[in-house]
Structure 1
Amino acid sequence: MATSMCINRLINVQVNQTCERNTLIRRCIYLSVVGYRNRGTQDEDRHEDAQVHVPVVNTKAQVRFHVKTADWIAEDVRQKILEKNKTRINKAGELLVTSELSRSQQRNLGDCIRKISDIIAEASEKPYEPTAEEIAIKESRLDKSTKERLKQKKMLSTIKQSRRVDFD
């Protein structure tokens, strides 16, 4: 069952505290609430056909975020999102995010939006690039360790040379 009537009311509690990223996310999402049934366990005394009746609770939230139409995200970030989340993206190019942490529908929708925001933030991070000074330090350490290794190798070689016996 899809809910489109009260999207703002459902998420405003969570989104009002955060900044403009969540507002932009709201424009590109499709929300749906999924009903699920938790049946529980059966006792050995009961007949096999008997079931524990538990009412359906519509609290699991599923959010679809269309990555390709989110023009406010840079193209390289969108590509990184598509690459990292291949298993979460359907054929229509929508990123599916679900949450059933809470018994509250509003909290689950807020959690889905937080997850999407985290995915975007993770894809936006630039990889660490060492400075010229750090590269120079690393090279000097590598040179020093190479020289020390060769020195040790030479010492072992001379020790083994001295142990040799010539039978001339």
Structure 2
Amino acid sequence: MPKCELDAIDRRIVTELQTNARLSNIELASKIGLSPSPCLRRVRRLEQDGYIDGYRASLRRGRIGLGFSAFLGIKINGHANEQALTFEKTVVAMPEVVACHLVSGDVDYLLEIVVPELEDYQRFLVDKLLNLPIVREVRSSIAIQTLKAGAPLPLSHLASP
């Protein structure tokens, strides 16, 4: 397991920010029991050290017209070559792809894609993904209902014994 150097206060900061990244520094400081200046220094250090990757609004997909989600298992021809790297860069740049994982098992990559509806998925699949020469096979699973997505990361494993 990679070494994580977050003390108890840092863990409280990231826990609070995962729950509500719009907290002002004064509100955050109050919640974790620090004065604003040291709180802000800690947040900036967490950002600089790469613990905090960014801040973004979490949107309801259906409300913005992206009600169709699918998970795609992708098999490619070859892994350790320039084509595989090109595939990764191309897929990561596609706005419909909201997650991309290199995985072990029956497929090589697992993608999560969001589009407005089935016809848009068909266009994405045929016009974009299957046009990539390295793609050998695509297995699709369509989300019927999303029960949980974009949840805060669990941090209990970081607690001091």
Q: TM-score range by the shorter chain?
A: under 0.3
* Larger strand share, 1 or 2: 2
* Larger helix share, 1 or 2: 1
User: With structure 2 as the length reference, what TM-score do the two structures score?
Assistant: 0.28
Select the structure of larger CA radius of gyration: 1
Higher relative contact order (CA 8 A, sep 6+): 2
